[in-house]
């Protein structure tokens, strides 16, 4: 199916409405909300690195409510077991019955994911990649859309288990909400504002599936693919990096760029889309050299430099 101007306009309008609706609950964080819906429509997952009290739970709940979906919250702790995440099979009145775990929802908030043991963290690997859960040899689909919004505190490291590379690589994006600015803080402090803002449902789950389908029709010029490949390749050759971005990272960046393009009223990807999303999509996939970390180099700074050093295709070549 070829994209038409009607498709593009409907996508941009719907995307904007979704963001506007969720911003009622997450005041002053429009860009992060846009990234979150980009991840959802691109069929990816979101990692939020933030200190407590910045609205991470509100964001996940509002997204699920907006698309008339279900949402669950898993508080990750050192004693959490894999079955507490995926569900378990129990023997009841002479037969085995499966009790669904909290991953069977449209939006799953994995709060403080790095506080659980690696064994429990690994319970999310299959469902994040394949949208299914296998328990006792039986595979069950979790439905669509499906999105994990995971949080971790980048400051407090006591009693935590760092996410392994394979887990980090399954997150389409990593970003941060951060504290609201003064104007947003004043709006939040208004006496008439409820403690928990419930947003109305303005879209059905089918609409998200339709939007996801439309992103596959977005034009991605061969030179844009080459630009993405050169950026990803440059991360592997950077002197401060021990392990660069994976092929999954390249695919994730292309998928996110197609969604971002449609959200901004275009049926084709431009270099600015790649520049806008490169850091949030690729930075968390890098493993820095220990000496670089000691010197204060960050993953985001490496991606920023790579993007600066990698020449984008010209508009004339893309025409």
SS (H, E, C) the chain: CCCCHHHHHHHHHHHHHHHHHHHCCCCCCHHHHHHHHHHHHCCCCEEEECCCCCCHHHHHHHHHHHCCCCEEEEECCCCCCHHHHHEEEEEECCEEEEEECCCCCCEEEEECHHHCCHHHHHHHHHHHHHCEEEECCEEEECCCCCEEEEEECCCCCCCCCCCCHHHHCCCCEEECCCCCCHHHHHHHCCCCCCCCCCCCCCCCHHHHHHHHHHHCCCECCHHHHHHHHHHHHHHHHCCCEEECCCHHHHHHHHHHHHHHHHHCCCCECCHHHHHHHHHHHHHHHCEECHHHHHCCCCHHHHHHHHHHHCCCCCHHHHC
Q: Do residues 115 and 144 both lie within one domain?
A: yes
- Rounded mean pLDDT of 263-275? 96
Highest mean pLDDT among 55-59, 210-214, 292-296: 210-214
pLDDT at position 101 over 90: yes
pLDDT at position 57 over 90: no
Q: Do residues 235 and 206 both lie within one domain?
A: no
pLDDT of residue 141: 94
Q: Do residues 184 and 295 both lie within one domain?
A: no
Q: Do residues 24 and 133 both lie within one domain?
A: yes
Q: Do residues 131 and 225 both lie within one domain?
A: no
Q: Do residues 60 and 180 both lie within one domain?
A: yes
∠ CA 8-313-258 to the nearest 5 degrees? 25
Name the residue with higher pLDDT: 214 or 198. 214
Domain stops at, among 159, 185, 217:
217
| Number of domains the chain is built from | 2
pLDDT of residue 142: 92
pLDDT of residue 198: 86
Q: Do residues 212 and 236 both lie within one domain?
A: no
Whole-angstrom distance, CA of residue 97 vs CA of residue 103 = 17
Q: Do residues 4 and 25 both lie within one domain?
A: yes
- Rounded mean pLDDT of 243-256? 95
Q: Do residues 241 and 204 both lie within one domain?
A: no
- Rounded mean pLDDT of 76-88? 93
Give 277's pLDDT tier (boundaries 50, 70, 90): very high
Give 306's pLDDT tier (boundaries 50, 70, 90): very high
Give the residue carrying structure tokens 């402090």.
Answer: 189
Whole-angstrom distance, CA of residue 248 vs CA of residue 271 = 20
Distances in Å between the alpha carbon of 256 and those of 122, 190, 297, 308? 25, 36, 26, 20
Nearest of 108, 17, 121, 103 to residue 56 by alpha carbon: 108
pLDDT of residue 92: 80
Give 39's pLDDT tier (boundaries 50, 70, 90): very high
Give the residue carrying structure tokens 């429990």.
Answer: 120
Residue 69: phi, psi to the nearest 5? -110, 180
Query: Around Cβ 182, how many Cβ atoms within 10 Å?
Result: 7
Q: What CATH number is given to the structural domain containing 264?
A: 1.10.8.80
Q: Do residues 212 and 249 both lie within one domain?
A: no
pLDDT of residue 1: 57
Residue pLDDT, tens place only, 198-209: 889 999 999 999
Give 58's pLDDT tier (boundaries 50, 70, 90): confident
Give 194's pLDDT tier (boundaries 50, 70, 90): confident
Pairing of strands 95-100, 87-92: antiparallel
Comparing 53-57, 126-130, 186-190, 259-263, the range with the smallest average pLDDT is 53-57
Domain that holds residue 10: 1-193+200-217
Highest mean pLDDT among 80-94, 177-191, 213-227: 213-227
Q: Do residues 213 and 308 both lie within one domain?
A: no
Whole-angstrom distance, CA of residue 55 vs CA of residue 179 = 9
Name the residue with higher pLDDT: 50 or 107. 107
Residue pLDDT, tens place only, 133-189: 999 889 999 988 899 999 888 777 777 888 888 889 999 999 998 888 898 889 888
Comparing 45-49, 96-100, 152-156, 298-302, the range with the smallest average pLDDT is 152-156
For the chain, the average pLDDT equals 91
Q: What is the percent of the chain with per-residue pLDDT over 90, rounded to a whole number?
A: 65
């Amino acid at each position: 199916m070829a994209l038409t101007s009607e498709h593009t306009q409907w996508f941009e309008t719907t995307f904007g409405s979704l963001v506007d609706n969720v911003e009622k609950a997450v005041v002053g964080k429009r860009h992060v909300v846009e990234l979150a819906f980009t991840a959802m429509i691109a069929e990816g997952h979101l990692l939020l690195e933030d200190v407590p009290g910045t609205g991470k739970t509100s964001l996940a709940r509002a997204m699920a409510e907006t698309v008339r979906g279900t949402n669950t919250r898993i508080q990750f702790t050192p004693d959490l077991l894999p079955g507490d995440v995926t569900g378990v099979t129990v023997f009841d009145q002479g037969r085995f019955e499966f009790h669904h775990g909290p991953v069977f929802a449209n939006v799953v908030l994995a709060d403080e994911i790095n506080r659980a043991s690696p064994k429990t963290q690994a319970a999310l690997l299959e469902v994040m990649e394949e949208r299914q859960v296998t328990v006792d040899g039986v595979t069950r689909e979790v439905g669509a859309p499906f999105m994990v919004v995971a949080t971790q505190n980048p400051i407090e490291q006591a009693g935590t288990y760092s996410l392994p590379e394979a887990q980090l690589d399954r997150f389409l994006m990593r970003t941060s909400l951060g504290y609201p600015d003064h104007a947003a803080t004043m709006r939040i402090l208004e006496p008439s504002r409820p403690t928990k803002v419930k947003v109305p449902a303005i879209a059905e789950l089918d609409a998200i599936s339709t939007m996801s389908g439309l992103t596959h029709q977005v034009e991605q010029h061969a030179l844009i693919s080459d630009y993405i490949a050169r950026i990803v390749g440059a991360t592997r050759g950077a002197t401060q990096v021990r392990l660069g971005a994976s092929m999954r990272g390249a695919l994730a960046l292309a998928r996110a760029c197609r969604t971002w393009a449609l959200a901004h009223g275009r049926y084709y990807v431009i270099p600015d889309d790649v520049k806008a999303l490169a850091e949030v999509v690729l930075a968390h996939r890098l493993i820095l050299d220990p000496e670089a970390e000691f010197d204060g180099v960050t993953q985001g700074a490496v991606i920023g430099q790579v993007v600066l050093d990698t020449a984008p295709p010209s508009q004339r070549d893309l025409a």
